[in-house]
Amino acid sequence: MEEPSVLDYLKSLLPGRKKIDLAAPEEAPSESPLPLNALPADAAVKPQDENRRFPWRTAVAVFLALLAQLLLEPGGRDLTSAVFLYLLSAMWLVWAMIKREWQPADLPERQKLEQSAGFFPGALAACLIFLILGFFLFSGNRFTLLNVTIWFLAIAAFLWAFWVPGRNHPIQRLGLYLKKKTWTISISRFGLLILAVVTISLIFRFYRLDSVLGEMFSDHAEKLYDVMDVLDGQYSIFFPRNTGREAFQFYLTAFISQAFGTGISFMSLKLGTVLCGIFTLPFIYLLGKEIGNRWVGITALALSGIAYWPNVISRVGLRFPIYPLFAAPALYFLIRGLRSMNRNDFILAGIFLGIGLHGYSPMRFVPIVLAVIFLVFLVHRQSRGYRQDALMNFILLAFAAFVIFLPLARYWTENPDMFGYRAFSRMTGSERAVEGSVILVFLNNLWKSLLMPFLDNGVIWVHSIPGRPALDVVSAAFYFVGTIGLISRYYKKRSWEDLAVLLSIPLLMMPSILSLAFPEENPSLNRSAAAYIPIFIVAAFGLEGFLRSIMEKFGGKSGKAIAILAGLMLYIISMVQNASLVFTTFDRQFMAGAWNTSEIGKTIRFYADTIGSSETAYVVPYPYWVDTRLVGINAGFPRKDYALWPEDFNTTLDIPAPKLFIVYEKDLESLKKLQNLYPDGITSYHNARLEGKDYFIFLVPPDRSVPISGQP
């Protein structure tokens, strides 16, 4: 007979059951000891010293992974040795798991929430009426007071029809808290740790925001002109300038420009996108907590908060961080909803998906990502008994997304070519023919993107450091460790969450991978931006497992101290490297490649504030030189394009002096023409801050007695 376990003993205590005495000698034959799960905590089979041995297999695996990734850093790259060391690391890690020296974190316990499946038919009918009416009112690519009101009524009716009220939801809890007569605030040690991690993340994201990035390029001019259109009352649903853009960033930047007093400037763009990056972080924490534990969540928050990849794409001032901003909550609420069958989570996932579709075109692939995750859930055993509820809730998610997407859906029906131009020009041969086999190009792009965290993040210098890995050494190494751990946990437990997280990485990279006609644009940090969400969660999964193995093997205060010291050391190493990448390497590289429109803008501003005016200054265009619109924006005259082509020089003869002309250092022909046109003009050579960006200043003074001094 099998020996009784602790569970058998507890069952025997119930009424009507025969009590089992674990201590009775006749119940436990001497030749068969009790199983381990029946032993008290202080009666381990192995000696205590052996249990507290250093987890050397895990440590060797981590050391080999760190060394392998170090060999993939630019400057001393040794690909063969790195691959060999990564394989060795994987073998040691598998050995450590077999010996139960290192185990991935368990999934949190699933809870089935009991709630009504009903809805309000009247509210649903009102929602459908408002949707139909709003669809027709949104014609003409304009937001108006009327169609926005109808749209909001449709959203409100939808929520009234399907939202399940409950005291356990954060919104309800906040309302109850605010109604209290007295408020009490308590912060735990873990809360203080979160506060410290968030503070460090904020420092990394805002430090030197005025100078990193230090210059705009042409895309910024396009964006700021769209922002000016908004401030002028042109409330477009889709902005067709520069091959078409969704609206979210322009309304956000317009708000920031007025609320923070930053005006039409690079800072307005950067403040908006940095805030987008910051508001992504809470959902990285929550998603990490959902597939691991709170320590996985805070580790993911810590690693992503200081990371080079999300930091750089947030500082560019373009729409890139809007993709992860809305993909993160959509993923979180879907996975949370599938784990709990909470209808409200599905609704929230749909709302964030719908808003995100107004943000950045790569977000258009997220509905496919969510559908794949839903299918992964359906084919696993955990979905038994819940498949019908899950299907209805997922349909509700799609409905919620459509309600929010409504204005853009209307524009899509009216302007399908413009709406899809950007994506289809990269996927198909509409702009440039796909070279070679489409399948081979796709597979090559997929391979490059999967290697991007370890090897090469692409060649686009305006938002990355060409040729280097997308992750720092510590994050990349633990991303490798965490991937093996997640695969191991899936192999043992067949949990759909593990497969969903792993599959989401290449799926969220698809907007970059599908650049089939322009494969040189893949991989890219911007179009793959949302992939950093699961990537940092997987990296945190590996790091948390490593530190927990140290703590469990040593035990007690010494184990905690060693784990804290190891974690802090790795975090500092990651912090130092990421700071160097963003504030030194990327900054120098970007400034070397960008044109100094801010410097030219200061020259014109000085002239306008002293002897001239903003209307009598000109910049002579030259191929591949400065965007003259950016000069006006930097000078503080954002609506002024300072371009004056050489063939139009004669048009300035009737304008009273003084006049100022900025000429590129290589454009000697235009300078000679100005000198012939204005014999009394004064030519000076401006030495720019950076090499290769000098220019001529040609001044036509009111008379020769006007001194030129104080040149900035």
Average pLDDT, integer, range 13-29: 49
pLDDT, tens only, 162-221? 998 875 566 666 667 777 777 777 788 999 999 999 999 999 999 999 999 999 999 999
Residue 46, burial from CB neighbour count under 10 angstroms (0-12, 13-18, 19+): exposed
pLDDT at residue 345 greater than cutoff 60: yes
In terms of Cα–Cα distance, which of 228, 249, 170 is closest to 638?
228
CA 211, 212, 214, 217 torsion: positive or negative? negative
β-strand partners of 227: none
pLDDT at residue 706 greater than cutoff 50: no
Q: Are the C-beta atoms of 582 and 312 separated by less than 8 Å? A: yes
pLDDT, tens only, 145-164? 999 999 999 999 999 999 98
Q: Encoding tokens for residue 441? A: 């190009």
Q: Encoding tokens for residue 101? A: 């020296």
CA atoms within 13 A on the CB side of 647: 0
Q: Encoding tokens for residue 582? A: 């963003």
Average pLDDT, integer, range 600-625: 96
Q: Are the C-beta atoms of 21 and 27 separated by less than 8 Å? A: yes
List the Cα angle 430/433/437 in 5-degree steps: 125
Distance CA 501, CA 516 (A): 25
Q: Are the C-beta atoms of 643 and 628 separated by less than 8 Å? A: yes
Position 556 scores a pLDDT of 80
Position 117 scores a pLDDT of 67
pLDDT at residue 9 greater than cutoff 50: no
Residue 108, burial from CB neighbour count under 10 angstroms (0-12, 13-18, 19+): middle
Tell me the pLDDT band of 422, cut-offs 50, 70 and 90.
confident
- Helix spans in 519-667 (H): 532-554, 556-580, 587-593, 597-609, 628-635
Q: Encoding tokens for residue 680? A: 């009394």
In terms of Cα–Cα distance, which of 587, 681, 566, 667 is closest to 619?
667
End-to-end CA separation in angstroms for the chain: 94
Q: Are the C-beta atoms of 20 and 2 separated by less than 8 Å? A: no
Position 46 scores a pLDDT of 45
Place of tokens 């000891």: 33
CA 149 from centroid of its chain's CA atoms:
31
- Give percent of the chain with pLDDT exceeding 70: 89
Tell me the pLDDT band of 709, cut-offs 50, 70 and 90.
very low
CA 52, 57, 61, 67 torsion: positive or negative? positive
Distance CA 467, CA 454 (A): 11
